[in-house]
Amino acid sequence: MKKVLCLVLTAMLLLAASAASAATQLEMLCWMSEQQEGIDAMVDAFNASQKDIEVTVSYMSKSAYFEKLNIGLPAGSAPDIIALNVPSDIDYSKRGFLLDISDLFESGAIDLSRYPEHTIAAHTIDGVLHGVPRDYDSIAVYYNKAIFDAAGEPYPTGDWTWDEFVEVAKRITRADEGIYGTCIASYPNSVVYDMVYSNGGMAFDENGQCVLNSDEAKDALKKLSDVILVEHASPTIEEQAEMSSGNRFLNGMAGMLFNGSWSMASYAEALGDDLGVCALPAMGEKPASISHSLIWAIPACSQNIDAAKTFLTYLASYESQAMTAATVIPAYEGTDALWVENYAQYGAKVFTDMVSEGYAVSLPYSMKASEETYSMIKSGFADVLATGDVSLLDALTEAVNAKIAE
Partner 1 sequence: MKNKTERFSPRLLLSYAVLILGAVFMLLPFFWMVLTSLKTRPEAVKVPIQWLPASPQWENYKLIFTRYKFSRYYLNTAIVTVCEVSFQLLTCAMAAYVFARLDFPGKSFLFFLCMTVLMVPAQMLLIPRFIITMKMNLLDSLAGIIIPNLPSIYGCFFLRQHFASLPRELDESARLDGCGYFRTFFSILLPLVRNGMVAFGVLTTLWAWNDMLWPMVVVQRQRNYVLSIAISALQGQYSSNTPLLMTAGTLSMLPMLVVFIIGQRSLLSGIALSGIKG
Partner 2 sequence: MARKRIPAYKKREYLAAYVMSAPVVLGTVVFFLIPALWSFWLSFTSGPDYFNNTFVGLENYRQLFTADENLRYELFNTFYYAIVVVVLAVVLGVLLANALNREIRGKGLFRVIYFLPSVTMAAAAGVVWRTMFNSQFGVINQLLGAVGIPGPKWLTDPRFMMLAVIIVGIWKQTGHNMIILLAGLTNIDASYYEAADIDGASRWQKLRYVTVPLLSPVIFFVTITSTLNALKVFDVIYTLSGSGGTDERFMRYYRTMVYGIYEKGFQFSRIGAASAEAVVLLAIILVITLIQFKGEKKWVHY
Q: List residues binding partner 1 (CB under 8 A).
A: 1, 4, 7-8, 11-12, 15, 18, 27, 29, 31-34, 56-62, 64, 67-68, 71-72, 75-77, 79, 243, 246-247, 250-251, 253, 262-263, 266, 269-270
CA nearest to 134, candidates 339, 350, 345: 339
The residues near 363 (Cβ < 8 Å, ≥ 6 apart) are 86, 122, 189, 193, 290, 291, 292
Q: Which is nearer to partner 1, 72 or 158 (CB)?
A: 72
CB of 361 to partner 1, least distance (A): 21
DSSP bridge partners of 136: 293, 329
Binding flag, residue 369, partner 2 (CB under 8 A):
yes
Q: Look at residue 91 and give the partner it binds from partner 2, partner 1, none, a contact being a CB closer than 5 to 8 Å depending on partner kind.
A: partner 2
| CA-closest candidate to residue 247, choices 266, 260, 275, 229 | 266
Least distance between partner 2 and beta carbon 189 (Å): 13
Q: Which of partner 1, partner 2, none interacts with 21 (beta carbon under 5 to 8 A by kind)? A: none
Q: Which is nearer to partner 1, 69 or 325 (CB)?
A: 69
Q: Closest by alpha carbon to 354, among 302, 296, 289, 309? A: 289
Please, which residues have CB within 8 angstroms of residue 286's CB and are 6 or more apart in sequence? 198, 359
Q: Tell me the C-alpha distance between 37 and 39, whole Å.
A: 6
From partner 2, partner 1, none, interface partner of 345 (C-beta below 5 to 8 A by class): none
Binding mask 229-248 for partner 2 (x = CB under 8 A): --------xxx-xxxx----
Query: Looking at beta carbons only, is 106 or 238 nearer to partner 2?
Result: 238
Q: Is 356 in the site for partner 2 (CB under 8 A)?
A: no
Closest approach of Cβ 59 to partner 1, in Å?
Answer: 5
**Are the beta carbons of 296 and 107 closer than 8 angstroms?**
no
Q: Name the amino acid, one letter, at 238.
A: E
Provide, rounded to whole angstroms, the least separation between the CB of residue 397 and partner 2: 16
What's the CA gap between 191 and 205, in Å, rounded?
20
Q: Which of 60, 125, 326, 376 lies at the binding interface for partner 2 (CB under 8 A)? A: 376
Per DSSP, the residues of 188-240 read IIIIIHHHHHHTT--SB-TTS-B-TTSHHHHHHHHHHHHHHHTS--S--HHHH
Which DSSP string corresponds to 119-131? HHHHHEETTEE-E
Residue 33 contacts partner 2 per CB under 8 A: no
Of 311, 325, 247, nearest to 37 (Cα)? Answer: 325
3-state SS, residue 299: strand
- Nearest CB to partner 1, comparing residues 63 and 107: 63
Q: Count of alpha carbons within 13 Å of 276, Cβ hemisphere only?
A: 19
Q: Which of residues 69-98 bind partner 2 (CB under 8 A)?
A: 70-71, 73-76, 91, 95-96
Identity of the residue, 224 or 328, whose beta carbon is nearer to partner 1 in the bound complex: 328
Q: 91 vs 194, which CB is nearer to partner 2?
A: 91
Nearer to partner 1, 17 or 48 (CB): 17
Q: How far is the CB of 60 from partner 1 (least distance, A)?
A: 5
Binding residues for partner 2 (CB under 8 A): 63, 66-67, 70-71, 73-76, 91, 95-96, 178, 186, 237-239, 241-244, 369, 371-372, 375-376, 378-379, 382-383, 386
